[in-house]
Structure 1
Amino acid sequence: MGFLSLVGNSFGCSASGERLVSAARDGDLQEARALLEYNPRLARYSTFGGRNSPLHYAAAQGHHEIVSLLLESGVEINLRNYGGQTALMQACQYGHWEVVQTLMLFNANTHRTDYLNGGTALHFAALHGHAQCLRLVLADYVPSIPNFLNLMNDRSSEEVTDAVFDDDDLVKMVNWKADGGLTPLHMAALNGHVECVQLLLDLGACVSEVTIEDGTTMDLIGSGSTPLHYAACGGNAVCCQLLIARGANLAAQNASGLTPLMVAHSWHRNSLEEILSNEPEGRLHTLPSPYLCLPLMSIMSIARECGWRYRNQSPVCIDPCAVCLEGRCSVAAEGCKHEFCTRCALYLCSTSYTSVNPAGAIPCPLCRHPIIAFAALPGTSPIRELPRNSLSLSLCTTCPAVNSDSSAASVPSHLYRTEFHCARMPPMGSSSFRSLSCQRLNPSFCMGTMDTNPCLIRCSRFGSILSRSASHGETNRRPWPLTFSPIVATTS
């Protein structure tokens, strides 16, 4: 009888786990909170086959409040599904910047790579053109200093010392190679995401990185291709101009002996012939990316240390934030000294377009003064970090199927580790984005009816890896958000 009770309890936990998955997918915060109060171990539940946890579903659908609730319940933030994707990768793939911000505040691992393609969350953000997610993922690498862009442009100069700013970690992260040697810059250039290309170049992306032949790829462009080869294949003129202005070689040949101009001809990008055939007569100056956010690192550090939610606040705030009129002022902008709550400061750094002078500064919403960094106000006390244990979905003694008088209930939970899990699927071998994209994967691979094709290069003619240009109407191009052109041509 006791064995049947345990079996019934395991199925009860499974049913509750499916309810939590449905609540996370549908954004039902009350249902999710009630289930987690009933059994916090349900946060570790994963679906059969795809092995997606409630955290994956909430991140993919953009329900940042449920993501925060699950993380506070103790779920492991870097859980992987069957394809090796984390919740951060799912949020970057679908462009949910609020989820990305929440995961970064809880110190999500940005170096994790998926099993299928070897790509990081940065690759997924660059592939789909989500520049807001891209700058949030790199928030801990961009310091809040006024001359950051000058230091990045002059990082090869001997005058720049490591004591000012060590950019090795940033450059390594931005130029991280997935399978086949694909960098985030390759992804953004191929799909014509101008804002991502511009931001990656400002953050130290190398225009001379080439792809490699790893034995598992199918690349119609050819190995040894630079980001300019990929931009020529994608057909976006502005991406090509940005890469050329940053020193891309027009005469570079890949392993097939093709230059960027030849690649453009082979893919019928005739509009790029003038850009790719002649070296620019004068020096091309590029404007800084409007997504380069300098105050982000400072406000993220303050939010992690002092909190960013309105907790235990009195009905009438003595010193309310001038933006939301709800939270208490906890940070001040360096320069104009205007005070905000941490939540509003985070929102400004995550959504605002930055000013051109100085590059990367956010205009103050009250006086339009450029903000480069935030500082915590005196009296703002650090909060105690929430206990976040890695909880497994073990048999729950609170389920009605278990007799409260059973002997198992008296045994401490840490002395036994009977767990109910789906059959663990063997990890897939590392294959490339390109070889996977040649196979039309099921759109409902792991997230129900959502498009979860994990390929980092979209499919195109003959089942290849390459996407069509906007002239053929087969790519999802995001319009340039600003009115000015990112390229300004001047004579030397």
Structure 2
Amino acid sequence: MGQALRVSCGNTAGQQLFSAIREGDVEYVLQMLRDEPKLLNAGFFYERLAPLHVAAQQGQLQILQVLLERGAQVNILNSSGQTPLMLACKSGRWSCIEPLLEAGANVLAFDYTRARTCLHYASRGGHTECVRRILAAAAQGPVANSWGFVRFVNVRDGYGITPLHMASRQGHAGVLRLLLDSGALVSATTTTTGNGPGHGSTPIHCAARGGSLECVRELLAWGADRTQRDLTGYTPYGIAMKYNNTACAAILNPHGAEPLVWPSPWKFMSELEPEAKTLLEAALAQANDERDREMSSRSSRAQSTKSKGHTKRRTLAAVLSAPEADEVPAPFVPPARNQEEDKTEEAAKDTTADVPIETGGLGVQEVCCICFEQFCTIEVKECGHQMCATCTLSLCCHSKPNPAIPYSPPPSCPFCRRNIGHLIIARPKTKLQESKEKSRSRRSRRSGGSRHNSRGGSGGKGSFSGPLFSSRIISGRCGSGGRSGRIVDIDWLTRL
């Protein structure tokens, strides 16, 4: 990496050159470089900025290409050890990234001050397109072969801060999703952060301090631990309360039920059909509403219990202080409940629970075999098993990625244990499909019975031996005396 040649601050040629670069005057820049070729890689002012630094920082693509064609050093450093690629990522000039990368810009260069890379600068600024281009270059270039792509995504600066920490702290949800999809670890901890959120902070600590509810939800979906403490003893909930981020604190409270968040880590969730996505979003909103109501009812009960205890103490003090009790208070009689309203509510529940779904005469929608409360609306495309939207969402939400590894397998179907690859709308099964499934199940049961018969034999005392012999039940056809069945008394077997 080349160091910029130091030029005095009072050099009017440098000031004129920088002014022409900022204004985009290509002809004047070419004229000055023809007159003074040393200006091409010279460093000006205290920061020792070269013309390529200024062109990349200002987003002057045409001038940047001219400088590269005339032989400007692509990895030239300023006084802070920053390359033109770092300044382009810091300023969000994504159009200048491609020419710099094609000219051989190093994506793994570290600056002098905090040992940060271009990915740190792009993530901190929230420049999603810059992050995308840097990650694409790192995945295909020599960095992936020598250093490792996942290691580059989780690169740490001098304080142990990863790009995911910076995106979480600044509230850049788009950059955060891109980093998580590329293998960023939600369990990464900082070593020391100076004036930051404290030692040993995870990305969810940074998101709790920044107050971005979207980032907090995304990190929880990727398996972030809301009970983890940093070296100062703070949980993410404590950090959110410390900086008055009440919305984040509501879902980070470790004493409350864990909220359901959209399972964005799984690829099949981004490939959902619009109708299926609408059903799952409605189920998510309903589940979170029920959670909020439960938490509010708990808080109200706690407050009422506290107020009742205070009232009892005051009543006891009043009784002890009174000289005599002339009248005995009447016992409390609870108010009579309106039985008609209860009957109407129960009737409404019964009717809504038993109403079938109209299927246009094609068939009847099946009841979910997990909760037995709702109808099947979502189908796993690979195996054809169906579930309701609420159970599907719970399965995907609770099957979170392992935060200790960059990649985790997707959730599996609860019926056949195959990995879920696609979710579609469950279509009602016709009578022909039901008859085929029944015949298939009968054939499987018959094949199972025939296997037991072949292993167990038929007739004679010696036919029941080995591991198939049970003290109470035995499968298959039993004996040769005309009696058969799947449950056989051992006393009858001993008489054979």
Tell me the TM-score normalised to structure 1 length.
0.50
Structure showing greater relative contact order (alpha-carbon pairs closer than 8 Å, 6 or more residues apart): 1
Higher helix proportion, which one? 2
Q: TM-score scaled by structure 2?
A: 0.50
Which one has the largest radius of gyration? 2
